[in-house]
């Protein structure tokens, strides 16, 4: 579940391996380009941590963030 903290939408994803985590990040990269909205994220082994915020609106959560979050969730389901 996405959580709104400090003007960011945040979620962590766990995978069975680094390769699966990296493949997920690649899919998210294509989504981010399609949405013209790019996450702050990190990856350590099998975990991917994503933060979404709308920079051009003063670093607050907007519908743009929720739309990308929903698209990301569809990748994982």
What domains does the chain contain, in order, with CATH numbers? 8-57 (3.30.1360.20)
Which long-range CB contacts under 8 A does 11-14 form with residues at least 24 apart?
A: 11/49, 11/50, 11/69, 11/72, 12/47, 12/48, 12/49, 12/50, 13/47, 13/48, 13/49, 13/50, 13/76, 14/46, 14/47
Question: What digits encode the pLDDT tens for the residues 12-36?
Answer: 999 999 999 999 999 999 999 999 9
pLDDT at 77 over 80: no
pLDDT at 43 over 80: yes
Question: What digits encode the pLDDT tens for the residues 51-64?
Answer: 999 988 889 999 99
């Amino acid at each position: 579940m996405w959580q709104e903290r400090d003007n960011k939408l945040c979620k962590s994803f766990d995978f069975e391996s680094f390769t699966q985590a990296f493949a997920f990040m690649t899919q998210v990269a294509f989504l981010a380009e399609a949405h013209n909205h790019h996450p702050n994220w990190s990856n350590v082994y099998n975990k991917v941590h994503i933060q979404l915020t709308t920079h051009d609106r003063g670093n607050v959560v907007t519908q743009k963030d929720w739309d990308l979050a929903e698209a990301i969730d569809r990748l994982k389901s």
